[in-house]
A and B are shown apart, each in its own frame.
Chain A
Amino acid sequence: MSLLEVRNVNKSYGGRGRSSGIPVLRDVSFALEAGESLGLVGESGSGKTTLIKIVVGLERPDSGDVLYEGVERSSASRSTRRGFSKDVQLVFQDPVSSLNPRMTVRQLVEEGLVIHGLAGDRSGRTERVAEVLSLVGLDPDQMERLPSSFSGGQCQRIAIARALAVSPRVLVCDEAVSALDVSIQAQILNLLADMREQLGISLFFVAHDLAVVRYLCPRVMVMSRGTIVEEGPREQIFGDPQHEYTRALLEAVPVPTPVRR
């Protein structure tokens, strides 16, 4: 049994009355195993974000289902769904806009603990906040500060700490490094790789940057116009792509080796 499974998911937007709307996802199925890093690449409009929303439960599919530990979310009880949302945590693209600017780092990281009733009382939670902050390379002594006093890269560390605080089993990353400076991207990528390794969690990493996905994920899916057009080990996707679309995507990536002239 897979840790998380997306089964024949369809989703359309804008349907009203008899019109069925514009299909955004068409019969999408895949499975994520425990401890696995799975990548999803696709261009804007391919349906990546909608798929993420469905995976974490922010949107409901029109048909099909998401299974967590073999249990269908649509028929799960409220408390099961709650456990599900604790176990599947999301890291967004832009840490500066995804963190509430009026909450301190402690409040931000603690919020999930409070909601899910974890880590006991206030002192227990403080201990847990300090623990995850050091895990992601931040100074726990700075937990009373606001996000505005941190750089973009540090804010993304805060967002990752916030996701990790509740001990999730899956970390879903939506373009988690695209908004960061080049010199910071590598830091955050290495942090994610280390977290996955140390904590044994699964990573569902969604991005448009092919090189980034290739580095983090041994298995990669390629999405175009709401369907997964190719799926396989990264050696295949990047070394011997089968689908025409994958080939076109790879060809478009600029090669950073200039010709002498």
Chain B
Amino acid sequence: MIRSDGPLLRMRDVCIDVPGKAGSVRLVDGFSLDIAPAERVALVGESGSGKSITARAIMRLAPQTVTSGSIEFDGLDLGSLPERAMTRLRGRRIGMVFQDPMRALNPLMTIGDQLTESLRDEGVGKSEAVRRAVAILEEIGVPNAAQRLRAYPHEFSGGMRQRVAIAIALIGEPDLLIADEPTTALDVRVQRQVLQLLDRIARDRSLAVLLITHDLGLVANFVDRVAVMYAGRKVEDRRCWELFEQPAHPYTQALLATVLRLDRPVTRPKTIPGAPPHPAGRPNGCAFHPRCELAAPECSRQVPSLRRLAKGGEVACDVVGRI
């Protein structure tokens, strides 16, 4: 049950540091994000953008600690929550699905034991736990659910394994599902099935979803809002269709222009020069300025702060605002 009125998830100025060879390295720098109950948000970025670390920090799974800032879930401050309470929150209120289901599942435990583990820990009786496990497998489209409880992960195909992983994440009936590249390891056709499944389940259960992905094409018809990360910072946060129609940040614009699309004539894709920076070598000022077509002298001097746009959403660029 959701208790508070405000956003379900509220992240404020979150910074995450890791120790590096030459002092600590800031992986995530001043990240803020709100997710309302039943809202779906995508966190989009390239490797090293800090998107996965951010997601793990919510679950307190990151080996890196949140250096400053706050993460609240349904009014609870996750930073100060005792470990026992955090354990109860994971799985029960916040479910998580990872990219590679083979690694996320325990190869030595049956699917049934993995599904019922969290319920049994809470004192749910065995037959009730099994009944719920069968119900969720059926809901998620695993055929012969009752017999399949005794199977091991290796007996499932990649797509079925990911369905099982989703079932495990949902069996505690969480309010928020964090899905980190849930379809990246899957083939296109299976990818679509899993995404459609997530879409249906999120709708049926009024589930809030934080989808972490590098694939802009994937998010288009799945989420309400998109937050774009670059080099550990949020650079744009918009309603999904507005982002695709009129991206504001030069990075988002460039990223959308490089995507090859089957629904457009064959043309040479635009490229973004250079490569995303390593967190330890993040350029001064706006981290994107060395690769940006619109870069002005002041871009290298100060980090642009997120500004509200008149049509809604936020963008962190001092140049596009003037155009």
**Residue from the set A189, A208, A211, A261 with the largest chain B CB neighbour count within 10 Å:** A211
Q: For the complex, count residues of B whose C-beta is within 8 A of A.
A: 38
Shortest CB-to-CB span from A151 to chain B, Å, is 4
Judge if A183 is at the interface, Cβ distance under 8 Å. yes
Closest to A181 in B: B46
Interface residues of B, Cβ cutoff 8 Å to A: 46-47, 158, 187-189, 191-192, 195, 214-218, 220-221, 224, 240-241, 244, 254-256, 258-263, 266, 268-273, 275-276
Q: Which of B189, B221, B272 lies in contact with A258, CB distance below 8 A?
A: B221
New A-B contacts (6) at CB < 8 Å, excluding given A44-B158, A255-B221: A43-B189, A154-B275, A186-B258, A211-B262, A215-B266, A252-B189
Asked if A248 is at the interface of the complex by the 8 Å CB criterion, the answer is yes
Q: Which B residues lie within 8 Å of A259 (CB)?
A: 221, 241
Bound form: Cα–Cα A238–B195 in Å: 23
Contact B259 A208 (CB under 8 A): no
Q: Contact check, B272 vs A261: say whether CB atoms are below 8 A apart.
A: no
Of the A-B pairs whose beta carbons lie under 8 Å apart in the complex, a sample of 29, sorted by A's number, is: A43-B188, A43-B189, A44-B158, A151-B275, A153-B275, A181-B214, A182-B214, A183-B255, A183-B271, A185-B258, A186-B271, A187-B271, A187-B273, A189-B260, A190-B269, A193-B268, A210-B262, A211-B260, A211-B262, A215-B268, A215-B269, A238-B262, A253-B188, A253-B262, A254-B192, A254-B218, A254-B221, A256-B261, A257-B220
In Å, the complex CA distance between A170 and B276 comes to: 31
Q: How far is the CB of A207 from chain B (nearest CB, A)?
A: 11
Would you call B220 and A258 a contact (CB within 8 A)? yes
Cα-based distance from A183 to B258 in the complex (angstroms): 7
Residues in B whose Cβ lies below 8 Å from that of A261: 224, 241
Q: How far is the CA of A131 from the CA of B221 in the complex (A)?
A: 46
Taking CB as reference atom, which chain B residue is nearest A194? B268
Q: Given the complex, which residues of B lie within 8 Å of A183, measured CB to CB?
A: 46, 254-255, 258, 271-272, 275-276
Cβ–Cβ < 8 Å partners of B276 in chain A: 181, 183
Give chain A residues whose Cβ lies under 8 Å from the Cβ of B244.
Answer: 256-258
Measured in the bound complex, the distance between the Cα atoms of B266 and A214 in whole Å is 7
Q: Is A249 an interface residue (CB 8 A)?
A: yes
Q: Could you tell me which A residues sit within 8 Å of B by CB distance?
A: 43-44, 151-154, 181-187, 189-190, 193, 208, 210-212, 214-215, 234, 238, 248-261
| Distance of A224 Cα from B216 Cα, bound (Å) | 27
Are B262 and A208 in contact (CB-based, < 8 A)? no
Q: Which residues of B contact A260 (CB under 8 A)?
A: 241
Most buried by A among B46, B188, B266: B188
Question: Which listed residue (B221, B240, B241, B260) contacts A212, Cβ 8 A?
Answer: B260
Q: How far is the CA of A251 from the CA of B192 in the complex (A)?
A: 9
Give chain A residues whose Cβ lies under 8 Å from the Cβ of B241. 258-261
In the complex, are the beta carbons of A256 and B254 less than 8 A apart?
A: no
- Which among A151, A190, A254, A261 has the highest number of chain B CB atoms within 10 Å? A254
The distance in angstroms between the C-alpha atoms of A186 and B272, with both chains bound, is 8
Q: Is the CB of A255 within 8 A of B263?
A: yes
Q: Which of B262, B263, B271 is close to A190, meaning CB atoms less than 8 Å apart?
A: B271
* Cβ-closest 4 pairs across A and B: A211-B260, A256-B217, A186-B269, A43-B187
For the complex formed, measure the closest distance between the CB of B20 and the CB atoms of chain A, giving whole angstroms. Answer: 15
Given contacts A193-B268, A258-B221, contact A214 B189 (CB under 8 A): no
Provide the residues of chain B in CB contact with A250, threshold 8 Å.
Answer: 262
- Complex Cα–Cα for A103 and B226 (A): 42
B216: chain A residues within 8 A (beta carbon): 182, 256
Q: Which residues on the A side are within 8 Å of B220 (C-beta)? A: 254-258
Distance in angstroms between the alpha carbons of A107 and B100 in the assembled complex: 35
Q: How far is the CB of A248 from chain B (nearest CB, A)?
A: 6
Please give, as numbers and ranges, the residues of chain A lying within 8 Å of B263 by CB-CB distance: 255, 257
In angstroms, Cα B257 to Cα A250, docked, is 21
Name the contact of B275 in the complex, choosing from A181, A234, A253, A255 (C-beta under 8 A): A181
Q: Of all chain B residues, which has the CB nearest A184? A: B275
Q: How far apart are A224's CB and chain B's nearest CB, in angstroms?
A: 11
Q: In the complex the two chains form, what is the Cα distance from A210 to B188 in whole Å?
A: 9
Q: Which residues of A contact B254 (CB under 8 A)?
A: 183
Closest to B269 in A: A186
Chain B residues positioned under 8 Å from A189 (CB to CB)? 260, 269
